[in-house]
Structure 1
């Protein structure tokens, strides 16, 4: 029997059998929601958004003020050509000058876009990230293929659940800055402190909007900085998200988590835990600036959140124009 000096006790980061035990995947096993809503479930934590939850969320609308949290969907988006993602291409397919002459002088126009579904403000669906050959709820990697797309865990199954109570947690204002430092790791302690400062509590079925201030780089035209090292939540926040039964999380940065990863050698470990293991729909590149300023002014940090996205069959995610009503 080994005394452990050879690392067979897992002290080298392995499971004793030579396989590396990643800390985020170990955490994911602890926080797994697989089977919680049945073997066929494809929407994960959005199950927390119940009809009663939507009714109570609608009652939060008192002034009728509306806030658009979406990035412009056009050629001036954050991405450069040649990468995994490119900005949308907008093309006119019918111009008024092309309209056939009619007796009443009708003119008309049609257009189309060529785009990735995650090229602007977006939702990451449950077929977006996995590991170990599996997506959320035991869906094998082969269920996502060129023939049908995401045959399981498609984003389109989730669209009716993305209307709920929204709560903004402004971590930048908590720290007294207009934006957090690059690669700042948001912790559970930060989330709790933001709740206390703002006098609000996140409850089951809520959509949490997390402001880092990172979106200001995009607004100022510095796309390179916006797509660079980013502040965001780290693995320390996952237990809080699980315990509070958060339905979905939307962030104002490009990466959806702190970037680069603080876990050596890991690639988007926060995504792996919250999407693959917990089944949590994750939003990125939300513009929270105007909303945050208004919440700070009136002290109201809860609201009706509406962001269904596009009902693209068998999709791994969706562009979205989120709307908040207060």
Structure 2
């Protein structure tokens, strides 16, 4: 069985882009890859891939990441300004990783170290992350994306709970779609698990998940993938086959320097991909420019 520490040493990108690098695999999203994404736009159809930010979800009751609290701070009973101008304001308290989200490289450490050997104790404090925070990634996650629809391989709507997705599955989904993942591409993996959440069972959605197993780290590394996103809550299968907590996060984020996208809504995307008979498209994943943030809400937009 693969060990994440051993695999992490093998696939490490530490120093690949310099000792002070904070972008990790997003360095692979060069202008050429952004242009490749633009060239994949053919029909002009635009899809938004995020969950709503409101008090209704997706977090279940008692979760350590609660749902947003939205409040109005200026209502219609406020004074009318000179000339009749009248305005309203609002505010929101939210966990930055409570819905469709991005994981920054400051989000994951093991053995006391973040990506590129940065000390987690030194970098992450109550004030936020002094290195590898979200401010480094805003405007960077855009380019050519490839949808790998895993349940479609077996004619299903979704994978089962705790069903692993292997490197062989990624290759099979790629072959089925008739597309090749190129260096600097963004890989979007559909498990169908989002159907559980959209069906109203948040507790079941967050209790376990199908997802990528540890073998996929080598596949993503060999293909020089820039960013990976999925429709489950943690990209990887949980609980893991080894029993280790989030071993793929450890390898992808900490060792390879790959930010992650989680809880992307991919049902309509899969339908459009099937109807247009192609799996490549342009994607832009905008997060908030939270200085020192270890994650952020995301508003991914796909264009076919």
State if a TM-score over 0.5 links the two structures: yes
Structure 1 position 300, deviation (Å): 1.6
Cross-structure match for 2:107: 128
Cross-structure match for 1:262: 241
| CA–CA separation in structure 2 for the residues paired with 1:174 and 1:143 | 45
Is the deviation greater in 36-45 or in 83-92? Answer: 83-92
Counterpart of 1:220 (choices 196, 199, 220) is: 199
Counterpart of 1:47 (choices 27, 31, 42) is: 27
Cross-structure match for 2:144: 165
| CA–CA separation in structure 1 for the residues paired with 2:207 and 2:158 | 14
Tell me the secondary structure at the aligned position of residue 307 of structure 1: strand
CA contact 2:106–2:124 (8 Å) conserved in 1: no
Q: How does 1:132-211 map to 2 (within 5 A)?
A: 132-211=111-190
| CA–CA separation in structure 1 for the residues paired with 2:82 and 2:109 | 58
Structure 1 position 176, deviation (Å): 1.1
Tell me the secondary structure at the aligned position of residue 321 of structure 1: strand
Is the deviation greater in 152-161 or in 44-53? Answer: 152-161
| CA–CA separation in structure 2 for the residues paired with 1:316 and 1:304 | 25
Counterpart of 1:105 (choices 84, 99, 116) is: 84
Q: How does 1:2-41 map to 2 (within 5 A)?
A: 23-41=3-21
Q: CA-to-partner distance for each residue in 1:94-147, whole Å, 9 max, x for gaps? A: 11222x223432221111110111011001110101101000000001233335
Counterpart of 1:287 (choices 256, 265, 284) is: 265
Aligned CA-pair RMSD: 1.4
Is 1:324 the counterpart of 2:276? The answer is: no
Structure 1 position 81, deviation (Å): 4.2
Cross-structure match for 1:74: 54
Tell me the secondary structure at the aligned position of residue 104 of structure 1: helix
Tell me the secondary structure at the aligned position of residue 131 of structure 1: coil
CA contact 2:129–2:294 (8 Å) conserved in 1: yes
Counterpart of 1:83 (choices 35, 46, 63) is: 63
Structure 1 position 291, deviation (Å): 0.6
Structure 1 position 155, deviation (Å): 1.7
Cross-structure match for 1:234: 213
CA contact 2:60–2:202 (8 Å) conserved in 1: no
| TM-score, length basis structure 1 | 0.90
| CA–CA separation in structure 1 for the residues paired with 2:62 and 2:202 | 15
| TM-score, length basis structure 2 | 0.97
The number of residues matched between the two structures is 304
| CA–CA separation in structure 2 for the residues paired with 1:145 and 1:296 | 43
Tell me the secondary structure at the aligned position of residue 97 of structure 1: coil
CA contact 1:304–1:325 (8 Å) conserved in 2: yes
Structure 1 position 83, deviation (Å): 3.1
CA contact 2:150–2:169 (8 Å) conserved in 1: yes
Structure 1 position 181, deviation (Å): 0.8
